[in-house]
């Protein structure tokens, strides 16, 4: 009789202990992982959701057309700094000077000094060659820095300076070359320069950036180099131009 009871009690005790161990383990697991689900696994990979501009939305980044880049709006505002109100901006030079030769000036303008560019920059200005026509010299101009400098653009009229820098989109790989055809013509003043038409595929309709001010006057050297947008296609043309 006693032996029969032992044969019954011992397996019962083992079963109870096993149940306690399983129950205790389950309780600890639930406490440690309260939101776990044995049948469902959700994986959230940060950085696996880039948009057409390459911005990672899961990391809080979104595309800013004004600054032409990805940013977090709580860290950086999507607007350009406006040191000069747009209604007061002008592409006319603030001041000009002449590179005098033997003290000889031109059009009664002052001779340039070493401080001209320094003084211009300190007044939020940008120095450009404003005229190359004087026979014996050239003229430097100090121009206001446009308040929309760096703004995304596709055409010159997008910018206060009248200059949309589309070439920078190629250098920054925003536009990738898809075709380049040589026209068979060469620069008559530089026989090593061949003319061509190239097309690029861009990741936005406005891959360029507004320039600080007007383009510095320079001698085109017999070639005309232009860029224009057609939706998301950038067209680069190098063709015959003037020389002076």
Burial class (CB in 10 A: 0-12, 13-18, 19+), 209: buried
Q: Does residue 135 have a pLDDT over 80? A: no
The three-class DSSP label of residue 240 is: strand
- Between the CA of residue 226 and those of 51, 82, 131, 159, 168, what are the distances in Å? 30, 29, 21, 17, 13
Confidence of residue 36 (pLDDT cuts 50, 70, 90): very low
Which pLDDT belongs to residue 39? 41
Q: What is the mean pLDDT of residues 141-154?
A: 95
Q: Does residue 142 have a pLDDT over 80? A: yes
Confidence of residue 120 (pLDDT cuts 50, 70, 90): very high
Percent of the chain with pLDDT over 90: 48
Q: Does residue 16 have a pLDDT over 70? A: no
Percent of the chain with pLDDT over 70: 75
Q: Does residue 195 have a pLDDT over 90? A: yes
Buried b (16+ CB within 10 A) or exposed e, 226-242: ebebeebebebebeeee
Q: Does residue 124 have a pLDDT over 70? A: yes
| Pick from 8-17, 101-110, 120-129, 183-192: least confident | 8-17
Which pLDDT belongs to residue 201? 98
Give the residue with greater pLDDT, 48 vs 154: 154
Listed in sequence order, the residues at least 6 apart from 151 whose beta carbon sits closer than 8 Å to its beta carbon are 66, 67, 68, 80, 158, 159, 209, 210
């Amino acid at each position: 009789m006693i032996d029969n009871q032992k044969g019954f009690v011992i397996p019962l005790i083992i079963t109870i202990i096993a149940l306690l161990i399983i129950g205790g383990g389950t309780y600890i697991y639930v406490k440690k992982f309260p939101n776990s689900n044995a049948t469902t696994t959700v994986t959230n990979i940060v950085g696996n959701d880039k948009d057409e501009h390459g911005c990672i939305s899961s990391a809080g980044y979104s595309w800013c057309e004004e600054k032409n880049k990805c940013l977090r709006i709580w860290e950086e505002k999507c607007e350009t700094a406006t040191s000069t109100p747009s209604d007061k901006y002008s592409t006319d030079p603030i001041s000009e000077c002449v590179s005098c030769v033997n003290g000889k000036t031109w059009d009664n303008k002052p001779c340039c000094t070493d401080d001209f560019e320094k003084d211009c920059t300190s007044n939020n200005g940008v120095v450009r060659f404003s005229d190359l026509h004087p026979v014996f010299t050239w003229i430097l101009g100090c121009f206001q820095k446009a308040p929309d400098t760096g703004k995304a653009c596709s055409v010159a009229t997008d910018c206060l300076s009248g200059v949309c820098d589309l070439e920078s989109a190629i250098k920054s790989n925003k536009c990738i070359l898809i075709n380049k055809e040589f026209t068979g013509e060469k620069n008559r003043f530089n026989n090593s320069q061949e003319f061509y038409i190239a097309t690029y595929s861009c990741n936005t309709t406005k891959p360029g950036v507004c320039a600080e001010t007007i383009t510095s006057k320079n001698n085109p050297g017999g070639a005309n180099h232009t860029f224009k947008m057609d939706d998301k296609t950038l067209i680069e043309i190098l063709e015959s131009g003037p020389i002076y």
